[in-house]
Amino acid sequence: MIGEEFAAVLAAAQDGSEAAFSVLWRDGNPALLRYLRVTAPDAAEDVAAETWVQVVRGLPGFRGDERAWRGWLFTTARRRAIDELGVFSIWTCRRKERGGFWGSAYL
């Protein structure tokens, strides 16, 4: 977590600062990869890369605090994973994790 400096780091990244963006990346990428290694184990690195491409594109329009940032980052990753793997693949993985057909209803 970046903490009290988050607003300044975000503003600088939105203005094009590579150093500020690298702070966001270093803070978010390890957790992002852990998440993707569970949800998209065969494509985690590719999905993470595509997630960051989408983040760079959408960064100027992002508004929110650090909690909202992390939510946006992980939502973007989930959507990229679905695009990469297809809904059926994620549904199948979740079904196996939750122990059967009805567990998939929680997707």
Residue 23 parent element (H or E): helix 18-39
Torsions phi, psi of 99, nearest 5? 85, 35
Range of the domain at 36: 3-106
Q: Which two tokens stand for residue 98?
A: 């939750």
What confidence category does residue 83 fall into, taking pLDDT thresholds of 50, 70 and 90? confident
Q: Each residue of 19-45: pLDDT tens digit?
A: 999 999 999 999 999 999 998 899 999
Residue 50, pLDDT > 60, answer yes
CATH of the domain at 67: 1.10.1740.10
Residue 86, pLDDT > 90, answer no
Closest CA to 7 of 23, 26, 31: 23
7, 15, 62 from 37: Cα distances, Å: 29, 31, 26
Q: How many domains does the chain have?
A: 1
Look up the pTM and report it. Answer: 0.78
